[in-house]
Structure 1
Amino acid sequence: MRWLCTGAILLWALSAWAEVPRMGVAVGTVTMEGKQWQRISFRPDIPIGPFGVALDIELFLDQKGNISKRGWDFSTGQATRETIFRKIYYVRYGRQGKPVFMKLGALDDVTLGYGLIVDGYTNALEYPSVKRIGFQGDVRLGGGLRLQWVVNDLDDAFTGGPWFAARASAPLLGKLRVGGTLAMDINQFAGLKDRDGDDVPDALDPFPDDGTAWTNTDADSDFPDEIPDYKVVKGDTVWVDTLDINGDNIYDRGEYRNLRGPEPFKKSENKDRITVVGVDLGYPILEGPVKLELYGQAAKFLMVEDGGGWGFAA
């Protein structure tokens, strides 16, 4: 009885915070195992007190209307956990425009300030094949101070290559507000795909599906120039020194002993940081249901070899 009463009280408390659920729908085409499927995704935003959870209820239909079981595997405990996790699109606290708003997961439309640096950003362009866990915040503090931030993927923060941006704004004189924005990509190379995990991007890896090999001499599989290619296994050059491919009675190792391919490009050894800073001024003319604001903003790239560009808008 005690648990029943406690549950009733919790439901009553949550109902005091209740909001109207919202629904989004996404439709697209995906390729799975060489077959085209229509993907229909229903995304209800379910309020739970001050919190909210957006689900991604997806269905895959083929040309005959058959529904795939993809994403609905409850055969084992691990499969069940993965299925449930896949259904969570984002988790939030509050809503946009409230004193405190935070979101964790998919970010669909993020703008900081007047949008010169960050405007309509999303981390879900490759969703659902790539699921990023972004972090967005918008907090309004006392004295008119407002803080905003966005991190594209928390997983990147642990691999040394996150993209993030932050903005602070405050009253300057009367209704006139001033703001400052910083956006930084710690390592632009960190976003390059590397499906075999050997630290060499797929676009530069002659063996993108082999994590123990990442370079050869000319990438032509020894033909037609009969120059033997080689693989690098665990950092060591491997040569087959008993072959005589071109039949000149000279072992290929001796014939091509000075032949080496270039060192492969590795993400961990190459970093390319880019930073943008900006300032803005804004003055509201109309406030309420209809808003009108005068503003000006400027931004500049930092730490760029050619000095970096700059721009402004009003």
Structure 2
Amino acid sequence: MVFYAQHHESVLGESATIDRTPFDKFSVKPFLKWPGGKRWIAQKLALCISKRLSNRYYEPFLGGGAIFFGLCPRKATLSDINSDLINTYIQVRDKPEEIIDGLKKLSVDKESYYHIRKEEPKDLVERAIRFLYLNRTAFGGIYRLNLNGKFNVPYGGGSRTPELLWRDGLIKRASHALQGIELAVSDFEKMMNKSRYGDVIYCDPTYTMIHNNNKFIRYNEKNFSWKDQERLSLVALRALKRGTFVLISNASYYPLCELYHPFKPIKLARKSLVSRKSKFRREIQEYIFVLTPDEIE
């Protein structure tokens, strides 16, 4: 169940008429499973963003790209510090048929999984194929690197397979949506500093808290620290002053409110989907900060 702060209901509501001019008239399903992904609220966030977007869309913590694929804007800059992730998006955009052909050749079983997990191909298409294979066959679709930058998620087993990537047309539809889209390996600050009036930025960083700085689950070999949270808030507020509409998903953690004052968070709640058994899925609470240019002096 999703809960909204009462005074913000109109922000993510569904009553306004949308000008679809900056968008293609479709949305597509993301091709990646991603920890902390926003599929569960992508429709509402995409609607909120579409009311404000008149120029370029920025997503500097790309991950599974659920919001981008819900929007399918014609002008977008998508970035992440994960070079393998961005390479996968580039290859899906530019060489979807090669990706599909390569995936079809791979066996899905425990022995094959661990063999492929150990490989480190140099060819960029092969790296993307490996990335997609692991994403679709690893336990829970989790992406996790150890301190040495090595993927270390165990085999998922069961019905996990990359087959739906071509069977359901996920790769081809994603490739179409990504045509003409800028993709970059970059720290968030560099990309966000490019935004101007009429742009929209959506940020979904790894959630880190002050007291948990060194114990938070790692999705990359480098943690997103509390100092990064502070830096993100400063960069976001600077973008706001340039006339950029900014949305930031984050942990339900009160000290974050001080970083984005006077903007109050929308409070959300959902069930974690990491565990296979529903009885072990705990409720996760989150904030979304909506930074609106016309609400500042």
Q: Which has more helix, going by share of residues?
A: 2
Q: Under TM normalisation by the shorter chain, which class is it?
A: under 0.3
TM-score (norm 1): 0.23
